[in-house]
Amino acid sequence: MLDRLPFLVGLRYVRAKRRNHFISFISLTSMLGLALGVAVLILVLSVMNGFDHELRTRVLGMVPHTRIEQQGGMQDWKALAEKVDQHKDVVASAPYVQQQGMFSASGRTQGAMVTGVQPDYERHVSIIDQHMQAGTLDDLSPGSWHVVLGSLLARNLGVGVGDRVTLLVPEASITPGGVFPRLKRFTVSGIFKVGADLDANLAYANIEDMQTLARLGDKVDGLRLELDDLFKAGPVTRDIVSTLGAGYRGMDWTYTHGNLFQAIQMEKHMIGLLLMVIVAVAAFNIVSTLVMVVTDKHADIAILRTIGAKPTSIMGIFVVQGLAIGIIGIVIGVIAGVILALTVSDIIAWFQAVTGIQFLDPNVYFISYLPSRLEMSDLGVIVSSAFGLTFLSTLYPAWRAARIQPAEVLRYE
């Protein structure tokens, strides 16, 4: 019976109605504070995980994991692609020609990076096929002078499928009439949307058309590579370049988007640490609750000691009471946090639709919506940390209760 004493009495103290309502209030605020801290921590880390996941799958799905280029242009790219594809970490390769230019249509202008691709190769190194809103990549046939635009780029230009746009490239053409900028009319054959800043500044055309426009002949700018592990892009790129020999250079995704990924990782750790302080404050509120309970229950503790309860049993009573308060708060917080993490994207989208407020402007941020991704590893760390902090907060009040001398207390009863 005495072995069960800490659980029986500790849980009874949790349920009991106290004469001192202030103690009950402090106990309730400690529980709710812990629940709020856990829920917010789960929600924020899920959103940070969502940004991290979207960066990997969407932005880095459109941006090449690494690029291999040759000084003066790449002539026999097919032979080089066959050689590169034999590398154990390379999934696929595709040729490309890139040209910075400015589109104009109906009096509107917008700068963009135009990438010349071969559709059969490009779909193996890019996710663009999965995000076409209109048209297909196969419409980019040689000599058609078709172009696929990002959704924001098309909207800014006020064009749709079938409309004509003019591309101005930063190279001059010398004619008998003088020096003129190089212009070319394209027909919009498709529109894609990945929900990132790429929608506003990226376009695709056929690689042969772009070779003609850039006057490259049969040369291409380089090869885009898809790797089985994008986080090995640096070592893999250096290994491939060293294998190919002099005249080649490589550039992986960390040069263009590495800072963004590192910033998200750092923010996740820093925000998690700061929010864990909130959980710690809520957990250590249990200290004040238990100290007041110990003071209120001096007589009860003395009586239990006189009938044979050991100091460890007395200590266990208040540890059980504190843990019960903490566990209830953690469970409420986990339930609320998981629900919010799973629905926050829909809630924000609904709020934006109702109010017309755009929280994430795609012209400023790399994605245009609030993503969320709940990971069980984060959930486990949050729950175990909150439980550990709660347990630590019960030790001092429980130790004080165990040191109470029955004779000193009962003398005045």
What is Dmax (Cα atoms) for the chain?
116
Low-confidence ranges of the chain (pLDDT < 50): 1-2, 177-178
**pLDDT value for 149:** 93
Name residues whose C-beta falls within 8 Å of residue 178's C-beta, 6 or more positions apart in sequence.
none
Say whether 3 sits in a helix, a strand or coil.
coil
Q: Distance (Å, rounded) from C-alpha 258 to C-alpha 235?
A: 15
Distances (CA, A) of 310 to 18, 45, 253, 303: 25, 44, 64, 12
Q: Distance (Å, rounded) from C-alpha 302 to C-alpha 46?
A: 48
**pLDDT value for 195:** 72
**pLDDT value for 331:** 92
Helix, strand, coil: what percent of the chain each, to 5? 55, 20, 20
pLDDT digits (tens, 9 = 90+) for 132-161: 888 888 889 898 899 999 988 998 899 999
Type of residue numbered 277: V
**pLDDT value for 1:** 41
Q: Distance (Å, rounded) from C-alpha 98 to C-alpha 78?
A: 18
Planar angle of CA 138, 157, 136, nearest 5 degrees: 10
DSSP notation for 90-152: EEEEEEEEEEEEEEEETTEEEEEEEEEE-HHHHTTT--GGGGEEES-GGG--TTS-EEEEEHH
DSSP 8-state class, residue 368: S
Return the bridge partners of 74, or none: 220
Give the closest residue to 215 by CA, choosing from 260, 182, 255.
182
**pLDDT value for 412:** 58
**pLDDT value for 186:** 93
Beta strand 164-175 with 146-150 is: unpaired
CB 46 within 8 A of CB 54: no
Give the closest residue to 182 by CA, choosing from 102, 98, 97.
102
Q: Distance (Å, rounded) from C-alpha 95 to C-alpha 117?
A: 6
Count of residues for the chain?
A: 413
Q: Which helix (H) or strand (E) holds 393?
A: helix 376-402
Output 16-20 pairs: Cβ under 8 A, ≥24 positions apart. 18/296, 20/292, 20/296
**pLDDT value for 214:** 84
**pLDDT value for 190:** 92
Q: Distance (Å, rounded) from C-alpha 162 to C-alpha 37?
A: 53
pLDDT digits (tens, 9 = 90+) for 95-119: 999 988 899 988 888 889 999 999 8
**pLDDT value for 413:** 56
